[in-house]
């Protein structure tokens, strides 16, 4: 999930070569008629999954809804890092959470909106307007959000570090 910017990907900047597209990802699932299911992929630890409480599940394992949101927030972060690096844009930290609304639309239960709430901290002298543009580029270049039909909205707080004050936008 590395975006090509200015000829090099973040992966390539570390001395690695990104494999040519297309990429194929495989996930397996094992489960019975009730209870938990186990997700697996080569080289990764197994992950227990179950329906959320809202769908009469136990609520103590990663649900498909949470996994989708996790894919969105992690892809956003990794893509934002690549965009920031290619743009020579420095930031101190990014804290991010995602929420998704599930509702019934035209007889189909689906996500109707995903909201990414983020707090981006810039070093002293950072440019909040440039930060907004780079955040939008990150959202638009994220392969997960680009693959979804649900709208993804950013709610951002941008803080510029200073010894005496903080500027919020």
Name which of 166, 79, 61, 168 is nearest 116 in CA terms: 79
Answer yes or no: are the C-beta atoms of 114 and 33 closer than 8 Å.
no
Residue 87: count of CB within 10 angstroms of its CB: 15
Let me know if residue 2 belongs to a domain: no
pLDDT of residue 14: 53
CATH number for 128: 3.30.300.20
- What does the pLDDT look like over 29-68, one tens digit per residue? 999 999 999 999 999 999 999 999 999 999 999 999 999 9
Let me know if residue 148 belongs to a domain: yes
Let me know if residue 41 belongs to a domain: yes
Name which of 157, 82, 77, 73 is nearest 116 in CA terms: 73
Place of tokens 């609520």: 59
Instruction: Please state the length of the chain.
Output: 169
pTM for the structure as a whole: 0.84
Please, what is the average pLDDT of the chain? 89
Question: Which structure tokens are listed for 86?
Answer: 């290619």
Range of the structural domain that residue 107 is part of: 10-168
How confident is the model over 138-143, as a mean pLDDT?
95
pLDDT of residue 127: 96
Residue 163 pLDDT grade (very low, low, confident, very high; cuts 50, 70, 90): low
Answer yes or no: are the C-beta atoms of 139 and 132 closer than 8 Å.
no
Give the neighbor-by-neighbor strand order of the sheet with 93-105. Answer: 93-105, 108-122, 152-160, 167-168
Let me know if residue 3 belongs to a domain: no
DSSP three-state, residue 41: coil
């Amino acid at each position: 999930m590395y975006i090509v910017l200015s000829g090099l990907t973040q992966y390539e900047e570390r001395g690695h070569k990104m494999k040519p597209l297309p990429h194929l990802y495989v996930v397996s699932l094992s489960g019975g008629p009730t209870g938990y299911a186990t997700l697996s992929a080569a080289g990764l630890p197994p992950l227990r999954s179950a329906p959320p409480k809202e769908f009469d599940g136990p609520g103590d394992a990663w649900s498909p809804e949470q996994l989708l949101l996790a894919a969105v927030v992690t892809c956003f972060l990794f893509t934002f890092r690549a965009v920031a690096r290619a743009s020579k844009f420095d930031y101190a930290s990014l804290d991010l959470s995602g929420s998704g609304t599930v509702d019934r639309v035209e007889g189909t239960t689906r996500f109707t909106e995903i909201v990414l709430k983020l707090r981006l901290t810039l070093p002293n002298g950072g440019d909040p307007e440039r930060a907004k543009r780079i955040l939008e580029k990150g959202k638009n270049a994220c392969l997960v959000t680009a693959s979804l039909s649900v709208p993804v909205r950013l709610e951002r707080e941008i803080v510029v570090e200073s010894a005496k004050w903080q500027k919020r936008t």
